[in-house]
């Protein structure tokens, strides 16, 4: 069966037959970079269209229906519009930092793609500290937002950036503690080891109620970390015009816009990997016949299916709940989610020591 792993192995063997080891590595890195950039472009087009169609479905309307069949090319038309728009830089802005901020946002998103296993034996970088790497690199996103808000020389941008800094730093704690619950159960920071530990069942089912609580806290925390509604205080249009990217236009605005949607994909991919087995098919104990049928579905289909289910869940949040005030947002984290996360981590640790899981 044609799969990502077979394609990657064929390319590797073909290059090794033609070039020496050094050139093979260089060419493979170039191919990987081009693939990541292409994936970014495709994700931007698909997720923006998905957002619009999901919101339309929830509000009982059609959504985009003019450009292309049933509006399927609307995202492409928006991309062309952003490409031809002039990129403006305010007179009072710090030009270097103002222009650098959107590139940092997109570079951080690219770095986060490295440890994600998109399919069986298909991963850019299989590192033994994958979970720690994701947690560390994702925290750099706040730098680009603070940089954009401060360099814009706009009080609304600065206020949005400061809100985002407080929000991301706060919710990282709950997200990190939720991730630690799975690390405690698997005993590994390697994402591949975490996936393989779910061969006889995904942790969302094997881990009982504590893991379900960890997942609920994780999905709330990453929604806040990606500045998605109802936690979009950093770009609250009714209060701050557009928040930290008020002064951005053209492709610089497009990079922030793209980074937001790619980050949503990444956090959902991490959630699918930790709680739903990543590319691992749905297995039930020793039901050999059922498990073999599940194995027939390609691993990449499992991975993207779970990831897009979580993306749909986050979009559902946006079109269901009203935006919180900044004090409500911080109260939710410090008074509720963080204490629950800490207590839940103790429960998971006790469960792991006593072996009280399937």
Summarised one tens digit per residue, pLDDT across range 86-121 is: 888 888 888 899 999 999 999 999 999 999 999 888
As a whole number of angstroms, the distance between CA 63 and CA 57 comes to 8
Taking only the tens place, the pLDDT of each residue in 151-190 is: 998 888 888 888 888 888 899 999 999 999 999 999 999 9
Contact call for residues 134 and 112 (beta carbons, < 8 A): yes
Contact call for residues 99 and 138 (beta carbons, < 8 A): no
Instruction: Identify the DSSP state of 70.
Output: G
List the single range of 47-56, 119-128, 228-237 with lowest mean pLDDT. Answer: 228-237
pLDDT, mean of residues 302-330? 91
Mean pLDDT of the chain: 89
Q: Is 65 helix (H, G, I), strand (E, B) or coil?
A: coil
**What per-residue confidence (pLDDT) applies to 88?**
83
Residue 3 above 80 pLDDT?
no
Residue 236 above 80 pLDDT?
no
Residue 299 above 80 pLDDT?
yes
Residue with more model confidence, 217 or 139? 217
Q: Which residues of 94-122 are buried (b: 16+ CB within 10 A; e: fewer)?
A: beebbbebbebbbebbbbbbbbbbbbbeb
Q: Which of 236, 214, 200 is nearest to 345 (CA)?
A: 214
CA distances 103 to 37, 98, 107, 258, Å, are 13, 10, 6, 11
pLDDT category of residue 358 using cuts at 50, 70 and 90: low
pLDDT category of residue 1 using cuts at 50, 70 and 90: very low
CA distances 328 to 30, 45, 164, 167, 238, Å, are 46, 33, 14, 11, 17
**What per-residue confidence (pLDDT) applies to 177?**
94
Contact call for residues 147 and 97 (beta carbons, < 8 A): yes
CA distances 70 to 73, 80, 103, 236, 263, Å, are 8, 19, 33, 30, 27
Taking only the tens place, the pLDDT of each residue in 258-272 is: 998 999 999 999 999
pLDDT category of residue 345 using cuts at 50, 70 and 90: very high
CA distances 347 to 103, 175, 208, Å, are 41, 16, 11
Element of type H or E holding 338: helix 338-354
């Amino acid at each position: 069966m044609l799969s990502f792993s077979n394609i990657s192995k064929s390319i590797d063997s073909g290059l090794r037959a033609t070039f020496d080891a050094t050139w093979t590595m260089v060419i493979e890195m170039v191919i990987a970079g081009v693939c990541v950039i292409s994936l970014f472009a495709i994700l931007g087009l698909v997720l923006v269209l998905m957002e619009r169609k999901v919101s339309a479905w929830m509000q009982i309307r059609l959504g985009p229906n003019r450009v292309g069949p049933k509006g399927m090319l609307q995202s492409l038309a928006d991309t062309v519009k952003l490409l031809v728009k002039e990129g403006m830089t305010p007179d009072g802005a710090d030009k270097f930092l103002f222009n650098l901020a959107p590139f940092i946002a997109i570079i951080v998103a690219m770095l986060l793609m490295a440890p994600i296993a998109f399919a069986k034996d298909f991963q850019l970088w299989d590192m033994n500290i994958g979970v720690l790497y994701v947690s560390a690199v994702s925290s750099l996103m706040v730098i680009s937002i603070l940089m954009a808000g401060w360099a814009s020389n706009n009080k609304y941008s600065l206020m949005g950036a400061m809100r985002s800094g407080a929000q991301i730093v706060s919710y990282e704690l709950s997200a990190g503690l939720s991730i630690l619950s799975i690390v405690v159960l698997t005993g590994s920071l390697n994402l591949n080891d975490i996936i393989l530990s779910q061969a006889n069942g995904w942790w969302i089912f094997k881990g009982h109620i504590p893991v379900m609580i960890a997942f609920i806290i994780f999905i709330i925390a990453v929604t806040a970390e990606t500045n998605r509604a109802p936690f979009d205080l950093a770009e609250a249009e009714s209060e701050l015009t557009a928040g930290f990217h008020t002064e951005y236009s053209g492709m610089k605005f497009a990079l922030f816009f793209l980074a937001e949607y790619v980050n949503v994909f990444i956090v959902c991919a991490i959630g699918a990997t930790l709680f739903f087995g990543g590319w691992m098919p749905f297995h039930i104990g020793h039901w050999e016949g059922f498990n073999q049928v599940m194995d027939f579905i390609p691993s990449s289909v499992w991975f993207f299916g779970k990831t897009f289910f979580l993306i749909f869940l986050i979009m559902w949040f946006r079109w269901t709940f009203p935006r919180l005030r900044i004090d409500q947002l911080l109260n939710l984290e410090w008074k509720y989610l963080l204490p629950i996360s800490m207590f839940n981590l103790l429960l998971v640790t006790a469960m792991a020591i006593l072996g009280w899981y399937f």
